[in-house]
Amino acid sequence: MITIALPKGRIADDTLEIFGKIFQTDFEFENRKLVMEKNGFKFLAVRNQDIPTYVKNGAADLGVVGLDVLEENRPDVLRLLDLQIGRCKVCVGVRNEDSLNCTNPDLKIATKMPNITRDYFSSKAIAVSVIKLYGSIELAPLIGLSDAIVDVVETGATMKQNGLKVAETIMESSAYLISNKNSFIIKREEILSLYNKIYKVL
């Protein structure tokens, strides 16, 4: 049995669709259930940011998670395959009437991704204060909590609806299949067989 952690939401749906294609049967979590067993796989419905924790600790052999989350959490896991789903960008956003003022010696950036944010601005030798938030990041510059944000942009609708624009793009992201390192040794055959099946249907 291989245990696979999936992030709740669209990436999980798209991943289960890939499994559906491979095994010619429907893979779907029952209403509110967090575990599903089918065709020798156990799927776990997990919060996006928690996927690295499940896989790193071996609670799941495999996981599907955005590159943005991997770059932020830097877990000690194997990146097996770009699944080419869940595409988005990590961007710096400012209010429509503003521009990113890099000469401001106390530029405040609100984000749920402090590591990506610090690395990006330090690579450009720009001093910033990072304000860690857990959600509704777009609110911060509107009410003066921060000068700018670093956040995930998928359709761009959230920024647009809140009078924000993309000032800079930090990285492009999509969902990756990751593996626990021990699982990849112990269950190598099963994981590689699954890897090949997924690779074929992408």
Q: Is residue 137 part of the contact set for ligand PRP (CB under 6 A)?
A: yes
Q: Does 175 bind ligand PRP (CB under 6 A)?
A: no
Note the Cα 15 to chain centre separation in Å: 14
Return the closest-CA partner of residue 90 out of 70, 64, 62, 63. Answer: 70
Helices (runs of H) and strands (runs of E) counted in the chain = 8, 11
Q: Is the dihedral of CA 123, 124, 130, 136 positive or negative?
A: negative
Select from 59, 102, 145, 158 the one that contacts ligand PRP (CB under 6 A). 158
Q: Which among 141, 148, 150, 94 is positioned nearest to 117, based on CA atoms?
A: 150
- Residue 109 in the binding site for ligand PRP (CB under 6 A): no
Q: Which stretch binds ligand PRP (CB under 6 A): 52-60, 90-98, 153-161, 165-173?
A: 153-161
Q: Which tokens belong to 171?
A: 């990285």
Phi, psi of 151 (to 5 degrees): -155, 170
Q: Which stretch binds ligand PRP (CB under 6 A): 29-37, 56-64, 75-83, 130-138?
A: 130-138
Name the residue nearer to ligand PRP (CB basis): 26 or 154: 154
Residue 50 in contact with ligand PRP, rule: CB under 6 A:
no
Shortest Å, Cβ 110 to ligand PRP: 11
Indicate which single residue of 80, 153, 170, 194 sits in contact with ligand PRP (rule: CB under 6 A).
Answer: 153
Residues lying near ligand PRP in the complex (CB under 6 A) are found at 48, 135, 137-138, 151-158
